[in-house]
Chain A
Amino acid sequence: EDQVTQSPEALRLQEGESSSLNCSYTVSGLRGLFWYRQDPGKGPEFLFTLYSAGEEKEKERLKATLTKKESFLHITAPKPEDSATYLCAVQAYNNNDMRFGAGTRLTVKP
């Protein structure tokens, strides 16, 4: 069965303190791995799609990387506005479901 595990569950950083969020996955035939950002009271907002091991994508202070077993979301010099819950999801070739992890709740203090 496809599984997605995100760690840590919660992360508190000082402004400017770089760190990484982890998404470990088990899937039979990865079609795509997705990162979303969710702010309180809102729906998830799409950030990145990664399709194959070795792929990297960047957007402002965020960079997502992918290996055959996990993905990292690197946050460089975060700002308070980066505070949110970050969700990882995988989609396999053999089904239409997008399997989500439980998320990492990031808090960046000024």
Chain B
Amino acid sequence: ETGVTQTPRHLVMGMTNKKSLKCEQHLGHNAMYWYKQSAKKPLELMFVYNFKEQTENNSVPSRFSPECPNSSHLFLHLHTLQPEDSALYLCASSQGDRGPVEPLHFGNGTRLTVT
């Protein structure tokens, strides 16, 4: 399998549930990202991991908890979410910031609905 794979594609959860989103990249990249995409809004960067170390945390509420066990896998653990957290959550990867600027490679996202 190639590229960036996200599972599940769709997730419906109640406000008291705990769930996790999974991302796997097969591109040999060293940096992985979580973005949130809401309707008619720009993509919002949530977390960045570079060589397995978290380098960005853009004031994301603690109900979102990232985990990066290795350079190929990234998780987003969710608990006690709010309805306004419903969105498309996108995972992306890149070579990392130790080289020339280069594009992000995105997965197809997890469509999250919080009821």
The interface size bin for chain A is 20 to 34
Is A44 within 8 A of B55, CB to CB?
Answer: no
Interface size class on chain B is 20 to 34
Q: Which of B64-115 contact A (CB under 8 A)?
A: 90, 92, 97, 101-109
Q: Which residue from B50, B56, B105, B109 sits with its C-beta under 8 Å from A97?
A: B56
Task: Determine if B43 is an interface residue (Cβ-Cβ < 8 Å).
Answer: yes
Chain B interface, >50% SS class: loop
Q: In the complex, are the beta carbons of A100 and B108 less than 8 A apart?
A: no
Binary interface encoding of chain A residues 70-95 relative to chain B, with 1 for a CB under 8 A from any of its CBs, else 0: 00000000000000000101010000
Where the two chains meet, the residues of B that have a C-beta atom closer than 8 Å to any C-beta of A are: 4, 6, 40-43, 45, 48, 50, 55-56, 58, 90, 92, 97, 101-109
Q: Apart from A102-B42, A103-B42, what are 6 other A-B pairs with CB-CB below 8 Å?
A: A4-B42, A32-B101, A43-B90, A43-B108, A96-B50, A100-B43
In the A-B complex, the 4 residue pairs with the closest CB atoms: A43-B106, A32-B101, A46-B103, A100-B43
